[in-house]
Amino acid sequence: MHKQSPQALLIDMDGVLYHGTQVLPFAREFLNAIASVPHLFLTNNPIATSAQVAEKLEAMGLCSADSSRILTSGMATARWLANQLPSFRYFAVGAEGLDAELSRHGTADSEHADFVVVGEGVGLDYASLTTGINLILKNGARLVSTNPDQTVDAHVDGRHRILPGGGALVAPFETACGCKSVTIGKPEPLLYEQGMGQLGVSARRCLMVGDRPDTDINGAHRLGMQTALVRTGRFLPDESWPLQLSEPDWDVENLQELLRAWRKVWPEWI
Ligand SMILES: [Mg+2]
């Protein structure tokens, strides 16, 4: 017996709508079908700003560039920090996009930072690790990471590469300082909670669409959201479900199959 139709959707992008620069099958059809349902695109990736992600979606012909529909872990981190401490000072270790989001709410200050923020992308080196651990151990700054992924998939010069994820990059700080970071991205609750807050929907009436059982689906399930796994990303059609995780409400090969399944159960919805 399926639950009530959702009032809103949170949608992961990489592995759901596209891979690198390649649009996945049925992504456009899916976005057209759900156009009237309130939704946000959610990503653990803090490297690009919301405006850059919106431009990428438009360039791919997926939807018009509307950055208000994008929630990156970098944005969510900046908002969370502002909530903890208005006018916060930060030391960022990560890509330019992270700094761009943080600087909208706080001030970069490598001498007196309240927070050491570690995100994905270029930034970690001996000097930045040293600055960060001194801020934490001597000044009492808090360690925050944008996302806990161990690794991420990327296309570099046309080749598939596995890059270190946010979890791998924050680990040296945790080891040196003997502390755990506050983590914003999936499967931790903060990114989903900000998304649902922005859409004005409760977890029970919100559905997460994603490609990763351990992050997208696991975190959403723990919050009581409905979940849909599409097997077009990291998790392939022939893989068996990880036994330690709760199964998603929907487990499909692609977005077309998901639309068909939803229309069968909720014929009035989309
Ligand atoms: Mg994904």
The closest of 34, 42, 54, 35 to 10, measured between CA atoms, is 42
DSSP code for 130: H
- Residues surrounding ion ligand 1 at CB below 5 Å: 12, 14-15, 211, 233
| C-alpha 253: how far from chain center | 21
Q: How many angstroms separate the CA atoms of 6 and 78, rounded?
A: 28
Same domain, 93 and 37: no
Q: Give the distance (Å) from ligand 1 centre to CA of residue 132.
A: 29
Q: Give the distance (Å) from ligand 1 centre to CA of residue 174.
A: 25
Same domain, 213 and 173: no
The closest of 239, 130, 145 to 191, measured between CA atoms, is 145
Structure tokens at 23: 């649009």
Q: State the pLDDT at residue 3.
A: 83
Structure tokens at 102: 């943080």
Q: State the pLDDT at residue 158.
A: 83
Q: How many angstroms separate the CA atoms of 13 and 191, rounded?
A: 14
The closest of 181, 96, 191 to 132, measured between CA atoms, is 181
Structure tokens at 120: 């994905």
Q: State the pLDDT at residue 1.
A: 60
Q: Give the distance (Å) from ligand 1 centre to CA of residue 41.
A: 11
Phi then psi for 224, rounded to 5 degrees?
90, 15
Q: State the pLDDT at residue 234.
A: 84
- pLDDT-based confidence at 109, cuts 50/70/90? very high
Helix/strand/coil percent split, the chain, to 5: 35, 20, 40
Q: State the pLDDT at residue 20.
A: 83
> What range defines the domain where residue 245 resides?
8-44+186-265
| Percent above pLDDT 90 for the chain | 92
Residue 25 belongs to what H/E stretch?
none
Lowest mean pLDDT among 6-10, 105-109, 152-156, 179-183: 152-156
What is the tally of structural domains in the chain?
2
**Boundary (domain end) residue, out of 155, 183, 211:** 183
What mean pLDDT do residues 209-236 have? 96
Q: Give the distance (Å) from ligand 1 centre to CA of residue 57.
A: 15
Statement: residue 263 has pLDDT above 80 = yes
CATH code of residue 105: 3.40.50.1000
What are the strands, taking DSSP E only, across 13-166? Answer: 18-19, 22-23, 39-43, 70-72, 89-93, 107-108, 115-118, 142-145, 151-156, 159-164
Q: Give the distance (Å) from ligand 1 centre to CA of residue 253.
A: 14
Higher pLDDT, 155 or 178: 178
Structure tokens at 4: 């009530």
Q: Give the distance (Å) from ligand 1 centre to CA of residue 14.
A: 4
Same domain, 13 and 26: yes
Q: Give the distance (Å) from ligand 1 centre to CA of residue 265.
A: 25
Average per-residue pLDDT for the chain: 95
DSSP per-residue letters across 140-181 = -PEEEES---SEEEEEETTEEEEEE-HHHHHHHHHHHHT---
- pLDDT-based confidence at 63, cuts 50/70/90? confident
In a domain, 94, yes or no: yes
The closest of 72, 76, 105 to 89, measured between CA atoms, is 105
pLDDT digits (tens, 9 = 90+) for 113-158: 999 999 999 999 999 999 999 999 999 999 999 999 999 888 888 8
Q: Give the distance (Å) from ligand 1 centre to CA of residue 102.
A: 23
Same domain, 95 and 173: yes
**Boundary (domain end) residue, out of 120, 154, 183:** 183
Q: Give the distance (Å) from ligand 1 centre to CA of residue 225.
A: 17
In a domain, 14, yes or no: yes
Q: How many angstroms separate the CA atoms of 169 and 147, rounded?
A: 10
In a domain, 270, yes or no: no
CB-CB neighbours of 4 under 10 Å: 10
Same domain, 20 and 101: no
- pLDDT-based confidence at 9, cuts 50/70/90? very high
Q: Give the distance (Å) from ligand 1 centre to CA of residue 167.
A: 16
Statement: residue 61 has pLDDT above 80 = yes
In a domain, 66, yes or no: no
Contact indicator for 189, 212 with CB cutoff of 8 Å: no
Q: State the pLDDT at residue 84.
A: 98
Q: Give the distance (Å) from ligand 1 centre to CA of residue 203.
A: 20
Q: Give the distance (Å) from ligand 1 centre to CA of residue 23.
A: 13
Q: Give the distance (Å) from ligand 1 centre to CA of residue 216.
A: 7
Q: Give the distance (Å) from ligand 1 centre to CA of residue 215.
A: 9
Compute the half-sphere exposure of residue 72: CA atoms within 13 Å on the CB side of its CA: 23
Same domain, 115 and 139: yes
What mean pLDDT do residues 237-258 have? 95
